[in-house]
Amino acid sequence: MGSRRGNGEGGIYQRESDGKWCANVDLGWHNGKRCRKVVYGKTRKEVAEKLKALHRDLAAGINLLPEQQHVQQFLEHWLEHSVKRLNRPRTYIKYKGDVERYLVPHLGKLPLTKLTPDHVQVMLNSAAASGLSPRSVSNLRAVLRKALNVAMRRGYVQRNVATLVDAPRSTSFTVKPLNEQEARRLIEQFRGHRLEALYRLALSLGLRRGEICGLRWEDVDLQAAAIRITGSLQRYSGKLHRDAPKTASSLRTIALPKVLLKVLREHQIRQEHERAAAQEWVETGYVFVSGRGTPLEPHNVVRTFKQALEAVGLPTTIRFHDLRHSCATLLIAQGVNHRVVMDILGHTQISTTMNTYAHVLPATQRLAVEEIDKLLGDASAKEDEDEDEDEDEDEDDEEVAGEDDEEEGRTSGRSTPTSTIIVVPGSAVTVTRSVPSLPPADHPQRPSSAPAE
C-alpha cells in the first residue's frame, strides 16, 4: 500500500510494483485530451523537490508539454514564423536548406525535450564525414543554436544543447587587400572597358557586389556628385531580386570624387550609344546592364573580375569582395577618419570597419616602425656618431702634436702660435688647434729648449 503524501506535496505516492516514488501534476485539457506530468524518484524527498520545480515552472508560464513536439515540427514552425518574417529572403532560403538537408534527417524524429548534446555531436560529425567543410559544419551548429534559443524563450526546452557541443575548428580566411600599386594596375586594366565605372566604384567606394548591380540611374545625382544606395540585386530561387540593403546603415548617400563623376558620365553616354545600336533593348533603369539592357548578373561581374586579375598578374584567389576590404584599407592609409570610412562602407558598428575590413599594408607598417626609429633609434645612433668623432679628434690631436714637436726642433725659440682649422671627415664638427708659426728667414735658427705641447 502506498504511503500517505505530506501536506502541500501534491500527488506524491509510492508504487507497489517497484517501490518507486512518483508525483503527477494535472496540466488540463490539450487537443481534447487530459494531460498530466509525472516525475519519478528513488526517495520521497527527491520527488518532492521535482514536484516543487514543476509548480514553479507552471507559475512562470513554462510549457510543460513540449514532448508532444518533435524537432522537425519545431524547426519547420520556426522557419515559417520566425526566420521568414524577420530575415532577408536569402537568409531564409539558406536556413531552410540546412534544416532540410542535415538537421531534419538526423534529428527530426526526436522529441524536442529529448534532444541531447550527443545527438547534435553525431549529426555534426556525420556532416563533416560527408565532405562538408568545417565552416559549413559550424554554420549548421549556428542555425540549430538560433532555433533552440527561440525554443528556450518559449519554454519548450530548459537548455540549448547546441551550445554544449564543440564547434569544429576551421581555418579563417586571410584577406590580402590590394596595395596602391596593385590597385592602379587593376584600374588600368579596366580603362576603356564598358564596365570600367563598376570596378572603379567597387574599389573607390567599397560598394558590395549586390549594391553595385542594384544601382539605378535614379539613385545617381551627377549634378550633386553623389549616389544613394537603396537596394541590392541578388539571385535566388532562380530569379534576380532587388531587395532592401543588408542593414539600415547600408541605406546611405556617398559623395562622388571628380574621377568617378567623370567616369560615370562617360558610362552614361556609352550606355546611350549601346541602347541606340541594339536591335532589342530592355529598359530596366539600372546603371550597369548587359548588352541588351537586362540587369547585370552578379556572377558575370565576378567572372570578368577574375579575368582582369589574371591579365595583370594578380592572384585569382582575390575575391571581388576583397575590393571592399582594399577600399577601407587604402582610405585609412591615406589618413581618412575611421568614422567616415564606416559611413562610406555602410557599417553599423565601427568595430566591424576596424577589425574586419581595415588591414595594415606593408608600406604603412614600414612607415610606422620608422617613426619609432626616429623616436628611439636616433639617440643611440647619435651616441655612436659622437664616439666616432671623439676617436677622430684624438687621432688628429696626436698628429698635430707630432708636427708641433718637429717644428719646435727646427725653431730657435718659442714662436707666436697661429690657429689652423682641422675638419674631421664625415662630420659637422671642426677642431681648432694652435700651431706655432715659422720664424723669419733671416733669423738664425737654434734648437728649442721648450717642451712639446
Query: Domain-by-domain residue ranges, the chain?
Result: 11-50, 71-164, 180-353, 365-436
pTM of the model: 0.65
51 close to 23: Cβ distance less than 8 angstroms: yes
Does 180-353 match 71-164 at the fold level?
no
For the purposes of burial, counting CB atoms within 10 Å of the CB of 407, is it exposed (0-12), middle (13-18) or buried (19 or more)?
Answer: middle
Cβ-based neighbours of 70, under 8 Å, separated by 6 or more: 108, 109, 110, 111, 112
Euclidean distance between CA atoms 152 and 310, whole angstroms: 51
Q: Which residues contact 74 (CB under 8 A, 6 or more apart)?
A: 112, 147, 151, 156
352-359 long-range contacts, CB within 8 A, separation 24+: 353/328, 357/206, 357/324, 357/325, 357/328, 357/329, 358/328, 358/329, 358/332, 359/175, 359/176, 359/177, 359/325, 359/328, 359/329
Helix axes 134-153, 117-129, angle to 10 degrees: 150
The rounded Cα 19 to chain-centroid distance in angstroms is: 61
Protein fold of 71-164: DNA polymerase; domain 1 (1.10.150)
Separation of alpha carbons 392 and 384, rounded Å: 13
pLDDT in tens, the chain (453 residues): 445 544 444 578 888 888 889 988 887 777 677 777 888 888 999 998 888 888 887 777 666 665 568 999 999 999 999 999 988 888 999 999 999 999 999 999 999 988 999 999 999 999 999 999 998 999 999 999 999 999 988 878 888 999 999 877 776 677 888 999 999 999 999 999 999 999 999 999 999 999 999 999 999 999 999 999 999 999 988 899 999 887 888 899 999 999 999 999 999 999 999 999 988 999 999 999 999 999 999 999 999 999 999 999 999 999 999 999 999 888 888 888 888 888 889 888 888 788 777 776 666 666 666 666 666 765 555 555 555 555 555 555 555 455 555 544 444 444 444 443 333 334 333 333 344 444 444 444 444 444 443
Task: Name the CATH superfamily housing domain 180-353.
Answer: Intergrase catalytic core (1.10.443.10)
